[in-house]
Structure 1
């Protein structure tokens, strides 16, 4: 409602590029041919079922657009964990190099020639530290995301939907135990220009986590809600800030109103990018 009240300020705004305006979600735009970007993405996860839980992921990425409608992103990440007294977790306080990743995106439909934009993103990563428990592992996973977006008010407001599936294979180094799990998700986001260089909005995300990569046994589910802000700092640089809280969740076999075993209570992300 607050964003809608400010929409007249942006009545003469330029077209919205959805590539980077969302926080946890993605838009269908992939950039222009020859574009190159460096991106720093910091993600924080806070609060589990008791004790102290803080996890920070710092990802550094290089993005390229070699041909029309196709984007390549190469990345690496570091993790910092502070875990103390969380049920089912070992106490840890450590900083570690976590993973390498490759993110490929292809835009099948563009909003300029179709009723909506549509992009398929495939992100593959290899981890040496578990992002949740901080245990030493050998983990491989791929996240498939189908992104749709449409300008609901031309040049002013854009809505997006993401559908995702993420299978994961993990082997714990200490015990040799092998695990498989998967997560499916659906998300809705809305962003609106309140000034030519500022967009405000929010994201609603729903996840279901399963044991096994074939969605075999439901482990838990959670609904996250929170605001997002995008700032175009200059012609070449940008900043996106977002925060989400678990508004509802359910651990399998439990009547609790939240799932703080498979998911966190709070998630936050800060993304800075620059073209070069």
Structure 2
């Protein structure tokens, strides 16, 4: 079934009539690594992003899915924006440091302005910065009810290496404040560095791979470390029509460990054994 779906997507991408004009939009071609491109000021998109985390250290059953519905556009050629509604579904059983529960709920709202510092069309490489303030009412990792606020910051760079090869890299800092019922305010941070390469096989199809490294702390800086994780995996991008594309990534944890004596907190961080993302976007 999966193989047949992949063949169908490739067939549609390669056979669909006429090839797209213009440059290749890099925002979604690197998987979990984000490219610097934004919409044109007169273009709007509706994006649906599904991100899944599966399995944790220490055994047990763990599945967490975050669903995002996003309205995306741009105010100028250098300033894009996203407005997002979040939903979370968590199923955990027998996982060290997490409650046994099954929950599906609306989980929060976020907004993300994105500033293009250097545009790839006029510079040797693209450079952009974004900040994403998010209010949450459900912890998307544990499934517990908790009032939270985060402000994820991302520095993005990408470049075309010839006519068909693209490279992208991100630096990530995400501070978070969270309070569960009857508990004191907790704070933490996620640090990340990611990079990807993508080969454009055709005007409508790209395949690639990426590497991601993350570290979690129970402070807003590097103090009180919780653990680290390194992921690798493949990515794909298929444009099915001039206003419709599908992109995805699958990453496997190949390295990483909890800080000494911190297995509970490490499992509470967003460090699953596997993670996957599927993005479907419609422009109008």
Q: TM-score, normalised by structure 1?
A: 0.91
1:193-237 CA-partner distances (Å, limit 9, x unpaired): 112210000110000111111222211111010000000010000
How far 1:260 moved relative to its partner? 4.8
Structure 2 partner of 1:45: 53
Structure 1 distance, partners of 2:111, 2:68, is 12
Q: 2:246 aligns with which of 236, 239, 250?
A: 239
Distance in 2, matches of 1:33 and 1:260, equals 42
Q: Which ranges in structure 2 are unaligned for 5 or more consecutive residues?
A: 1-13, 15-20
Structure 1 stretches of 4+ moved >3 Å = none
Deviation at 1:22, TM superposition (A): 2.5
Match among 169, 176, 185 for residue 177 of structure 2: 169
What secondary structure does 1:133 align onto? coil
Query: 8 Å contact 2:244–2:283 — kept in the other structure?
Result: yes
Residue number in structure 2 paired with 1:101: 110
Which of 76, 82, 94 is 1:67 aligned to? 76
Q: Any conservation in 2 of the 1:251–1:261 contact (CA below 8 Å)? A: no
Among 180, 185, 193, the residue aligned to 2:200: 193
Inter-partner Cα distance in structure 2 for 1:54 and 1:193? 32
* C-alpha contact (below 8 Å) 1:227/1:244 kept by paired residues: yes
1:205 maps to 212
Structure 1 CA distance for aligned equivalents of residues 117 and 200 of structure 2 = 26
Partner of 2:6: none
> Structure 1: any 5+ residue segments left out of the alignment?
1-8
Check whether the contact 2:138–2:145 (CA below 8 A) recurs between aligned residues: yes
Corresponding residue SS for 1:251: coil
- TM-score between the two structures when normalised by the length of structure 2: 0.88
Alignment partner of 1:29 is 2:37 = yes
Question: Equivalent of 2:101, from 88, 92, 99?
Answer: 92
Supply the distance in 1 between the matched residues of 2:121 and 2:86 (Cα, whole angstroms).
Answer: 35
Q: Distance in 2 between matches of 1:209 and 1:88?
A: 15
SS in 2 for 1:250: coil
Distance 1:14 1:199 in 2: 16
**Counterparts of 2:113 and 2:32, CA distance in 1:** 17
Q: Distance in 2 between matches of 1:92 and 1:193?
A: 42
